[in-house]
């Protein structure tokens, strides 16, 4: 094995060697492979990064938006040129199958391609005034210093969702990536710098959530961060939301999900099985949009579950570099430990474990179609559990792993009750060939994203991404909608009448003759 890559917090395009690498990140599919060394950046280092970003902001915001867009173009070209290498690092650091890793890097490229031209389309509006010789305009203005905290399941795609539009809009950034992917994060930071962004515009602080992440959130109260963005658990998002609220800020929170997938009698069952399989077990269930509750019409429930179990049993699991696998390891030991604890504590006597195996994949507890050495990584069995009740934690809470609850329903209204009852509202899906059922579902589901005859997982760079309720505060990422997260609207009125004109007070309204009625026959 090669020596682990040493990574550093970077402030003003410089390695901060006063915060030396002290922790090791390992390949979750091969324990003996030490991938990188990374520091735990303390409060002082985070503050230094925020001060650098604040110092860079006045000059950066004055760079014309089309020129900022040109640097986004450069970044997209650099990521494209380094796509296969970045994907290989992604697979090695977090265990994402290589084909998925390529897709994650492509999402960065797509995001850059979309926002390049938005630098020429940060449109305001001209607004008609009710007063003569008065002009009204609206402008998008950058927010300031943005603190961004992202998770390890999409360690390059999701950061791009934040970083690219934030920089395009004229903000400066301090990014705390996941400690699960320090090398990939370090490489991405270098590509941002090589794209031509000036020192201090983009800064990265490596470390864990408890120390470095918490320090970055504290910079909101210190007056050094003007916007906080966070992708992660609902519990942590709630704490960040409280800090932002106390400082009269609106955070961008993209949180967990317990995403429902409804299968009706009028579904193409083979397509629905394929969609449920990917929604449940793609990326080892480690997507915020992964399937949480499978909701199947009671008259087809047994047939559908039998088909799904047959497809599940045929899945290949294991080495993420093998092109035949459906999913690889969990991201790290803590994710596997959390999943195993959830299974132990929340699968109750009234549940039916429908899959033949459960828990960690080991030599003693094998998966039949396994590629590689199960003892070398954090691998988990795919688990489907029937008999969930409304009060169950199994139904109420996100699991973040290859574990899905299955329930049956009678009428579509009952399916909606199941789909909405846990309070999450990120993604959702329905499989049906009946347009009326599809329209009823999309009208009544509380999720921010709805798929019809498609999976719960999947995003495109020009569509809004985000959730409601326990899944987020209504903020949206991707597409033009994210611009509202990283700009503030400014209204400007200019009066050239050479006299004081007071709207609503000095406005002259014609009363008309409202008592007039047209003659009848």
d(CA 181, CA 190): 14
Coil vs helix vs strand at 372: coil
Structure tokens at 402: 């290859």
The answer to whether 295 and 308 are in contact (CB under 8 A) is no
Sign of CA dihedral 270, 275, 280, 283: positive
The answer to whether 144 and 171 are in contact (CB under 8 A) is yes
The answer to whether 188 and 107 are in contact (CB under 8 A) is no
d(CA 73, CA 336): 38
First to last CA, the chain: 97
d(CA 2, CA 129): 67
Which distant-in-sequence residues (6+ apart) come within 8 Å of 70 by Cβ?
Answer: 116, 119
d(CA 343, CA 403): 8
Structure tokens at 214: 């918490």
The answer to whether 29 and 319 are in contact (CB under 8 A) is yes
Question: Residue 488's beta-bridge partner residues?
Answer: 141
Which distant-in-sequence residues (6+ apart) come within 8 Å of 309 by Cβ?
Answer: 354, 355, 384
Task: Provide φ and ψ at 33, rounded to 5°.
Answer: -90, 100
d(CA 174, CA 159): 11
d(CA 176, CA 281): 28
CA-nearest of 368, 392, 378 to 339 is 378
Structure tokens at 9: 């917090």
Coil vs helix vs strand at 195: coil
Tell me which residue has tokens 């899959």. 355
CA-nearest of 163, 153, 181 to 38 is 181
CA-nearest of 289, 105, 261 to 181 is 105
Tell me which residue has tokens 């999900």. 257
The answer to whether 355 and 321 are in contact (CB under 8 A) is no
In eight-state DSSP terms, residue 284 is: G
The answer to whether 185 and 8 are in contact (CB under 8 A) is no
Catalytic residues: 254, 288
């Amino acid at each position: 094995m090669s020596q682990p890559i040493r990574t550093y917090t970077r402030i003003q395009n410089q390695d901060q060697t006063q915060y030396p690498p002290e922790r090791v990140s390992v390949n979750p599919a091969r324990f003996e492979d030490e991938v990188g060394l990374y520091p735990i950046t303390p409060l002082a280092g985070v503050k230094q990064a925020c001060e650098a970003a604040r110092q860079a902001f006045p000059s950066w915001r004055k760079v014309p938006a089309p020129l900022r867009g040109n640097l986004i173009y450069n970044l997209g070209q650099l990521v494209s040129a380094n796509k296969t290498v970045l994907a290989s690092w992604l697979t090695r650091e977090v265990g994402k199958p290589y084909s998925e890793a390529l897709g994650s890097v492509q999402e960065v490229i797509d995001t850059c391609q979309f926002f390049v031209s938005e630098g020429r389309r940060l449109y305001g509006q001209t607004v008609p005034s009710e007063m003569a010789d008065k002009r009204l305009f609206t402008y998008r203005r950058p927010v300031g210093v943005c603190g961004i905290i992202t998770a390890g399941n999409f360690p390059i795609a999701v950061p791009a969702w934040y970083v690219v539009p934030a920089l395009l809009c004229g903000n400066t950034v301090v990014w705390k990536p996941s400690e699960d992917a320090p090398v990939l994060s370090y490489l991405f930071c270098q590509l941002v710098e090589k794209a031509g962004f000036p020192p201090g515009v983009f800064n990265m602080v490596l470390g864990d959530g408890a120390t470095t992440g918490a320090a970055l959130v504290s910079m909101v109260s210190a007056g050094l961060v003007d916007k906080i963005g966070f992708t992660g658990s609902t519990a942590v998002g709630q704490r960040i939301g409280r800090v932002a609220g106390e400082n009269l800020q609106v955070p961008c929170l993209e949180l967990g999900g317990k995403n429902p997938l409804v299968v009706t009698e009028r579904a193409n069952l083979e397509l629905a099985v394929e969609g449920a399989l990917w929604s449940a077990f793609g990326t080892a269930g480690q997507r915020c949009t992964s399937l949480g509750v499978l909701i199947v019409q009671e008259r087809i429930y047994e047939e559908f579950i039998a088909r799904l179990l047959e497809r599940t049993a045929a899945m290949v699991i294991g080495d993420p570099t093998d092109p035949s696998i459906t999913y690889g390891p969990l991201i790290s030991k803590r994710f596997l430990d959390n999943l195993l604890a959830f299974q132990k504590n929340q699968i109750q006597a009234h549940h039916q474990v429908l899959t033949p195996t459960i828990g960690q994949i080991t030599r003693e507890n094998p998966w039949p179609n396994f590629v590689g050495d199960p003892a070398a990584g954090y691998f988990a069995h795919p688990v489907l559990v029937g008999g969930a009740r409304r009060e169950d934690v199994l139904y109420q809470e996100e699991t973040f792993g290859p574990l899905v609850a299955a329930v049956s329903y009678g009428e579509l209204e009952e399916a909606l009750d199941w789909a909405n009852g846990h309070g999450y509202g990120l993604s959702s899906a329905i499989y049906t060939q009946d347009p009326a059922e599809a329209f009823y579902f999309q009208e009544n589901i509380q999720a921010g994203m709805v798929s019809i005859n498609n999976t719960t997982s999947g995003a495109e760079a020009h569509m809004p991404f985000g959730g409601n309720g326990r899944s987020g505060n209504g903020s949206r990422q991707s597409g033009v909608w994210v611009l509202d997260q990283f700009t503030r609207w400014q209204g400007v009125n200019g009066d050239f009448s050479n006299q004081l004109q007071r709207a609503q007070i000095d406005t002259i309204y014609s009363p008309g003759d409202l008592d007039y009625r047209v003659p009848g026959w």
